[in-house]
Structure 1
Amino acid sequence: MWRCALPPLLRYPTVDELAARAAALAARHPRDARLRRVGTSRAGTPLWLLSVGHGARQALVVAGPHANEPVGGATVLRLAERALADPRLTEGADATWNLLLCLDPDGLRRNEGWLSGPYSLGRHFRHFFRPGFLEQPEWLPDGADAAALPETRALLRVQDELKPFFQCSLHGVDVGGAFVELTRDLPGLAQRVAHAAARLGIPRELGPYDALYWPGLGPAVHLIPPPHRGDLAAAITEAAVESTWFHPQRHGTVTAIVEAPMWGVPAVEDAARPDDRDAVLRAVSTTLRHDTRVLERLLARVRPGLAGLPDAGRLLAPVDDYLLVCPGLADAWDPRTPDPVRPLPPLRRAHLTALRIAGRRLALRTAGLLHQLVTASGDDPAGALPELDRLIDTWCADYQDGCGARWIPVARQAEYQTRVVRAAFELAARDGAPYPRPGEPDWGTQAAVPMHRE
C-alpha cells in the first residue's frame, strides 16, 4: 500500500511550504527526484519544477495558474509521492513527471489570509485575490512571441524544452463541482472522472458556465475549442484567446484542465430537464444586473479614496474586469434578450444551477476585492465597508442556504484531482502498461489521509 513520505496536508500549502516540501522529497529521493528553478516571478519568487523519474516521455503538471485556486499545490506534492512510490507511473510508463509547484506564487501569497483556514465562504471572499485577466500567466492574448509576464515565458520555455506528451493544468472551483476540459478527446476519461468523484463524494459539474457553449465529451468532460481572437470580455468569459493550454500542441501534447471544487453543490450534477428554464434564467440575469449596479455605485464611492494606496491597481484590475463582463453575461443568459448569432444551448437543471452560482461568484469576488481595498486604505470616508460586509454575508448565505454549498476537505479535493490526473495520464500514454483499473485492486484505494482524519 502507498504510504505518505511526508506528513499529510490537511490544509492548502503556502508558497514557502510547497518549496520546502518539494525540497524534502528531492533530498529524500536524490536518485529519482530533482528540483530545479525554471524561472522567477515578477516579485522575485523562484518558480520550481520538481521532476520524478527518468523516462523518455515527459508529463507536465502545472499547479497554481490561478492565484485563488490553491488545491493544485497539494495535488502536485501528492502526485510526486505517488510517482516515487509506484514505478508503474515512471519506469513502467517510460515517463518522467515534471511538476511545476506554482505558476503564480505572487498571487498565491496574496491569498494567504484564508489559505490556512478556518474555511468559510465569508473568510474566503474577504481575502480572495485573483489578478486581472492580462496578469494571469496562462493567457497569451498577443501570442507566445509577445508573452509579457516572466511566469508565462518560463512556462513556455519548459513546454518547448520538455515537449510533453501530456500536460495538466490544475484548477479549483470555489463553489460548484468537478469537471475536466481537454484540448482533444481522451476516450474513457468521463468514466474515470465519475468513478473518482463518486468514491470521494464530490459532485460533478455537468454544465459549467465556462464550457456552456463547448462540445461535451461525456458527463463533466468538455472539449476546449481552438483559440481565436476576440475582445477582452470574450477572452475573460470564454477563454477565447491563445493560451499555454494550446501552445504545446505543436509537440503533439494533449492538455487537460482539471477542476476540483472547494465547496460542493449537489445540484450541479442534476441532469434532469428543468420545468422553469426561462423563469430561472430571468431571475439569474436580473439578479446579476442588479448586483452589478450596486457594485458599480460602491466602486464609484470608493475609488476616489484609493488614489494614494500602494498597489491598488492590482486589486482594481480584476474589479474592472468583473464589472466589464457582467452586463454582457446577463444579456446572454436572459431569454428576453436572445442572441440570434449564438443562442443558448439546451439546458439541464445542472446548467441553471451553474449559471446562478457563476453570477453570484462574480458579485462576491468584486465585493471581496472592494472590501480589501477599503480595509487596506485604513479609512472609509464613503461608508462603504458596512454595506460590503452586509452584501458578502448575504450572498455567502445564499450559497450555503440557497444552493446547499458544503465544504470539501482539502485532502479530499487533492485526492480527487490526483486520481483524475493519473487517469488522464494513463489514457494519454496508451502504452499498454499494467495500470490498475476501476474495480481492480489498488485503484483509487490509497487515500493519502483517511476520511476520519479530514
Structure 2
Amino acid sequence: MDRRPMIPDDITRYLTTIPDWAEIPTVDGLIGDLETLAASNGDLCRWRRYGTSRLGDPLRVLSIGHGERNVLILGGPHANEPFGALTVSHLSRLVTEHAELRDDLTWHFLPWANPDAARMNEGWFAGPRSIRDYHEYLYRPAPVDDVDYTFPNLSENGYYDRPLPETQAVMRILEDLRPVFQYSLHNCDFGGVFYLLDHDVPGLAEDLLAFTGQSAVPLAMDSVVVTGLDSPGKGVYLFPPAELIDGGIAELGGTSGHWAARYGTTTLVAEIPMWNDPRAADETDSGRTLGEVFGQAATEVAESSDLLADLMATVRPALRSGSPLTASVESLARLGPSLAQGMRAAAEAMDERPAAVGEAFVGAITPIMIRMRGLGQLRRLLRAELATGNHAPALRATVRKADELFDRACHAAGTVSEGNPFPLRDVVAVQVGAGLVALRRILQEAE
C-alpha cells in the first residue's frame, strides 16, 4: 500500500519563518520558552525527567506528538557549542504547528545535555560573537567532564566505564525511547558544514549535499580533521569506532551515537561553523603542499601545548578554588601532543598533494584557535582565583603573562581572518533543514 512521505519534499518552506536572532538564549531562557510552548499546547506536549545534573539541575525531555516512532533531538552535547539551542527552539515550534511533521512520530527534545557547563559559556551568548569574545568566556569541559565523550566503551582498547550523571540520563532516554533517529547538535569554528553518521544510509549523503549546496553556509572541504574517516559522500563522514576515538589514550569514552546504535538508531551529527571566511571553501591551488601546511600546523599545536603545560606547572600548586576550568586546561596541555602527532601523521600521508586555499586557511587558523582556547580558559581560571582573595605571587605573575600571550594570539587570529560570524538564522536554517532531510531519508529507507 502506497503511503505519503511523513516529511514533505519541500523542506525549505519550514525555514522561511526562522527569526533573525541577535543572541543565543541562556539555559534558563530556552527552557522557559519551551515551558511556554508546552503550556500552550497541552494536548501535544509533556515533560519527563530522566536525571539530574552534577549541580542539581533537572534533566527533562519535552515530548511533542503521539506517534509510534520516536525522534530524539540532543541539544548542547558540547557546552561551548550552543547554536543548537536556537535549533531546538525553532524545530520544537515547527513540530507543534505542522501536523505533517508529527505523522506517526513523537519528537523528544533534550534542551541542554550539560546545563552546568553551558551556563559557564553564557558570557558570550549575547554577543558580540567575535573570536576574542568567544574565547574570553569559553568553557570547554575536559573529556572526563564532557557528556558526549563519556559513554561506556567496553572494548579492550580504550576501555571506559565512568559515565557522568548527565551521560547516564541520556543513556536512560535512549533505552526508554529507542528512537529511529537521534540528531546531535554541534558547532565548529571555521570552515564549512560537515556531517557525521554512525552508519551509511543509502541516498542520505547525496540528500545532504544537495540541501547544503542551496544554503547560505558552504559545505566544508576535506581536512586533516576528518582524514582517515570513511565517507559515503562529500561532506559526510562515518564515526570511527569508539575504541579508536582517542587512539587508545582511554581519556575518552564513546559518544551518544555509539551507544544509540544498539537500539537500531541512526545518529546524525551536524557540525555548523561559527565564523565565515570565503577562503574556507576555496578549492583553488594555494601553491603549498598539504605536508607543508599541516606539518607547520602540527608544530604550532605542539608548541602551544608545551606553553600551556609550562604555565600550568607554575600555578598548579597555588590553585585553591577547585574550578572545573583546571581540568579543562590540564587536559588541553596533556592531549595537545597527541593532536599534533595525528596532524603530523596526516601531513606525512598527504605530503606532496597540493593544498587548496581552503585547506591552507584551515591549517593557518586552527593552531591559533587551539592556543586561544587554552589561554582563554587559563585566564578565566586565574582571575577566578584572584577574585576569591588568592593572590599568590605565581598567580599574579602568570595571569599577566597569560594576558599578554592571549592578546598576541588574538592579533594573530586577526591577521589570518576577520572572523565575521555567520548570521544565526543562516546556521540554524542549515541545522534544522539537514535534520529534516535526514529524517525523511531514514523514514523512507525504513518503509
Coarse TM-score class (shorter-chain normalised):
0.7 to 0.9
Structure 1 residue matching 2:107: 3-state secondary structure: strand
User: Deviations 1:90-144 (Å, cap 9, x if unpaired)?
Assistant: 12xx111111111000000111111122222111101100111011112346438
Deviation readout 1:214-254 (Å, 9 max, x if unpaired): 01222211111222267677567xx7x43221212122111
Q: Which residue is equivalent to 1:174?
A: 189
User: For 1:358, what is the secondary structure of its paired residue?
Assistant: helix
Distance, in Å, in 2 between the alignment partners of 1:410 and 1:171 is 14
Query: TM-score, normalising length from structure 2?
Result: 0.85
The gaps in structure 1 that reach 5 residues or longer are 434-454
Equivalent residue, structure 1, for 2:9: none
Give the aligned residue type for 2:200.
D
Q: Cα gap change, 1:129/1:230 in structure 2, threshold over 3 Å: closer, same or farther? A: closer
Q: Does 1:291 align with 2:304?
A: yes
Find the counterpart in structure 1 of residue 8 from structure 2: none
> Which residues of 2 match residues 44-443 of structure 1 at below 5 A?
44-91=56-103, 94-140=104-150, 142-143=152-153, 146-228=161-243, 234=249, 241-272=253-284, 275-277=287-289, 278-306=291-319, 308=320, 310-312=321-323, 314-334=324-344, 338=348, 343=349, 348-349=355-356, 350-378=358-386, 379=391, 381-382=393-394, 383-430=397-444
Report the Cα distance in structure 2 between the residues aligned to 1:421 and 1:301, rounded to whole angstroms. 46
Distance 2:146 2:262 in 1: 22
SS in 2 for 1:225: coil
Q: Is the 8 A contact 1:60 1:166 kept in 2?
A: yes
Query: SS state of the match for residue 318, structure 2?
Result: helix
Q: Distance in 2 between matches of 1:154 and 1:347?
A: 46
Identity of paired residues, percent?
A: 30
**Is the Cα–Cα contact under 8 Å of residues 69 and 105 in structure 2 kept in the other structure?**
yes
Q: Give the one of 1, 10, 30 matched to 1:18.
A: 30
Of stretches 113-122 and 5-14 in structure 1, the one that deviates more from structure 2 is 5-14
Give the count of matched residue pairs.
Answer: 421
Deviation (angstroms), 1:370? 0.6
**Cα offsets for 1:17-53 (capped at 9, x unmatched):** 1110010111111112222222210101111211111
What is the TM-score of this pair, normalised by structure 1? 0.84
Unaligned runs of 5+ in 2: 1-12, 155-159
Moved more, 147-156 or 253-262: 147-156
Q: 2:83 touches 2:187 (CA, 8 Å); kept in 1?
A: yes
2:328 & 2:415 partners in 1: Cα distance? 27
After TM superposition, the structure 1 stretch with the greater mean CA deviation from structure 2, 142-151 or 399-408, is: 142-151
The answer to whether the 8 A contact 1:207-1:354 is kept is no
Determine if contact 1:400/1:406 at 8 Å carries over to the other structure.
no
Give distance in 1, aligned partners of 2:96 and 2:83.
20
* Structure 1 vs Structure 2 CA RMSD: 2.9
Look up the equivalent residue of 1:79 and give its one-letter code.
Answer: L
Q: Work out which of the residue numbers 25, 34, 38 in structure 1 matches 2:46.
A: 34
Kept in 1: contact 2:187–2:274 (CA 8 A): yes
Q: Work out whether residues 88 and 109 of structure 2, in 8 Å CA contact, stay in contact via their aligned partners in 1.
A: yes
Shift of 1:194: 4.1
CA distance in 2, matches of 1:180, 1:57: 23
Could you say what secondary structure the match of 2:379 adopts?
A: helix
8 Å contact from structure 1 (residues 266, 404) kept in 2? no
CA contact (8 A) 1:19 1:48 kept: no
Q: Distance in 2 between matches of 1:177 and 1:6?
A: 20
SS of residue in 2 equivalent to 1:392: helix
CA distance in 1 between counterparts of 2:226 and 2:347 reads 21
Q: What is the identity, as a one-letter code, of the residue corresponding to 2:296?
A: A
Distance (whole Å) between structure 2 residues aligned to residue 201 and residue 380 of structure 1: 50
**Secondary structure in 2 matching 1:97:** strand
Aligned partners of 2:309, 2:105: CA distance in 1, in Å?
51
1:323, 1:19 → 2: CA distance? 35
The amino acid that maps onto 2:322 is: D
Cα pair distance change 1:184/1:348, threshold 3 Å: farther
Q: What amino acid sits opposite 1:354 in the alignment?
A: V
